[in-house]
Amino acid sequence: MKTNQFMELALEEARAAGARGEVPIGAVVVLDGAVIARSGNRTRELNDITAHAEVAAIRMACEALGQERLSGADLYVTLEPCTMCAAAISFARIRRLYYGAEDPKGGGVENGVRFYAQPTCHHAPEVYSGMSEVQAAEILRGFFQGKRD
Ligand SMILES: [Zn+2]
């Protein structure tokens, strides 16, 4: 599978999360070309504000591998990670981070605290942004528009 196909899976997870009434963000963890975890936001389902798609996918991947870190793994997520998720991605030693839309209001990678640029950040993934950003932003916009109507 190619990188854009992994992002397609993340978009699928985002749509599924939206259908469950969660904020529609999806994440996929890939190791050696294989998907080892995929999740959407689960904060409402689990009553857990830390259950963002990225953290949920990282937890699932760590469980699947029976280890606390994901060195060499790549993470695909539909929206720029928040500060909490940016930190979790760093702590998990994710190799590459691919994200779709940027999040000027809540992002922590290229917006906000820019976690990976801080001297207190000891592992920064390679970051690739803008992949499928139009679709990712559209899913979010549709979700919040539906809430207002
Ligand atoms: Zn987050």
Q: How far is the CA of 78 from the centre of ligand 1 (A)?
A: 11
* Dist CA 127 CA 102 (whole Å): 12
Known active-site residue 54: yes
User: For the chain, what is the largest distance between any 2 Cα atoms, rounded to a whole number of angstroms?
Assistant: 44
Positive or negative torsion for Cα 101, 24, 27, 62: positive
At residue 1, the pLDDT reads 65
pTM: 0.95
**Given 8, 13, 22, 54, which residue is catalytic?**
54
CA angle 73-94-5, nearest 5°?
50
| Stretch 1-21: mean pLDDT | 92
pLDDT digits (tens, 9 = 90+) for 60-84: 999 999 999 999 999 999 999 999 9
| Stretch 1-23: mean pLDDT | 93
